[in-house]
């Protein structure tokens, strides 16, 4: 009898991929989308959003070796209301253009993390003067504190790292109100129709656009689940990546607000 030894994957390895990452295993940027292409920042942003679900070693390896950019750090931040480190994100710097671009990406909802789902289903709002309504669950994830609320500054010796205070020197938070029609029947029906189409297209896109768009079994499994849960397939990372790579450059032209910045976004 030949004895076999079970080898468990190393979750800290730069090659370890999460359940979300298995849906789209691409790590490199599209070489056809150059820095002066209107799609460039959108393509870079969606790849960063997808990578945020992975471990720090994987993210650092992706930024430095696959994107050829500077990795500025990974942040594992405290949520006072969940009483756990539930907010993760990373920052990177792109100096390939005429000016430096600094980006930050936060990890979204991990499919098997109950505390992430708890933040999502918190339907209450906070109103911030001059900004507007902010989803309470997301605000708590960013650094709202039970005893102090939202202080202007925190002490340097604060043991717990809060996302907003860790990144505020370089970034400006721009909350966005979620889809008001999410629970509307008129919104759910198109979602189911779209789920059926996305499942069918997952078998067609390989022949239409080439082997780089071949979808994994994990991705198709997610699309099958989407036939039961409306809207789920529309949030797959592979769709956002494909949008930036296959979409017309006309969809990504910079607005006048983009040109008014000093190169840091």
The per-residue pLDDT for 261 is 43
Q: How far is CA 199 from CA 25, 125, 193, 213, 225, in A?
A: 18, 35, 10, 14, 10
Which ranges of 74-135 does DSSP label H, i.e. alpha helix? 114-120
- The Cα–Cα gap between 92 and 72 comes to 5
pLDDT tens readout for residues 18-76: 988 888 899 999 999 988 888 999 999 999 999 999 999 999 999 999 999 999 899 99
The C-alpha atoms of residue 55 and residue 13 are separated, in whole angstroms, by 8
Structure confidence by residue, pLDDT tens digits, 63-120: 999 999 999 899 999 998 888 899 999 999 998 777 788 889 999 888 888 888 888 8
CA 200, CA 208: separation in Å to the nearest integer? 13
Cα 205 to its chain centre, rounded Å, is 23
Instruction: Please state, in angstroms and rounded to a whole number, the distance separating the CA atoms of residues 157 and 73.
Output: 19
Count H helices, E strands: the chain? Answer: 9, 5
pLDDT tens-place string over residues 111-148: 888 888 888 887 788 887 887 888 888 888 888 888 88
In angstroms, the CA 112 to CA 205 distance is 29
**CA pair distance 134, 114, nearest whole angstrom:** 21
């Amino acid at each position: 009898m030949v004895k076999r030894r079970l080898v468990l994957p190393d979750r800290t390895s730069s090659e370890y991929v999460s359940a979300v990452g298995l849906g789209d295993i691409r790590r490199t940027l599209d070489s056809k989308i150059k820095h002066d292409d209107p799609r460039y920042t959108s393509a870079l942003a969606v790849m960063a959003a997808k990578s945020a679900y992975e471990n720090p070693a994987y993210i650092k390896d992706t930024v430095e070796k696959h994107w050829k950019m500077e990795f500025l750090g990974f942040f594992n931040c405290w949520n006072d209301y969940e009483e756990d480190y539930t907010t993760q994100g990373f920052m990177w710097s792109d100096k390939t253009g005429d000016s430096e671009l600094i980006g930050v990406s936060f990890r979204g909802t991990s499919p098997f993390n109950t505390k992430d789902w708890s933040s999502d289903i918190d339907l209450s709002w906070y109103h911030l003067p001059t900004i507007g309504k902010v989803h309470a669950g997301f605000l708590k994830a960013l650094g709202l504190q039970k005893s102090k609320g939202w202080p202007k500054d925190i002490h340097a010796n604060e043991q717990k790292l809060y996302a907003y205070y860790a990144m505020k020197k370089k970034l400006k938070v721009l909350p966005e109100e979620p889809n008001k029609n999410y629970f509307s029947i008129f919104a759910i029906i198109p979602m189911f129709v779209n789920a059926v189409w996305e499942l069918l297209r997952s078998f067609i896109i390989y022949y239409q656009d080439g082997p780089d768009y071949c979808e994994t079994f994990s991705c198709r499994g997610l699309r099958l689940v989407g036939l039961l849960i409306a809207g789920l397939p529309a949030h797959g990372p592979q769709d956002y990546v494909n949008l930036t790579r296959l979409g017309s450059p006309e969809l990504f032209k910079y607005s006048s607000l983009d040109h008014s910045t000093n190169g840091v976004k």
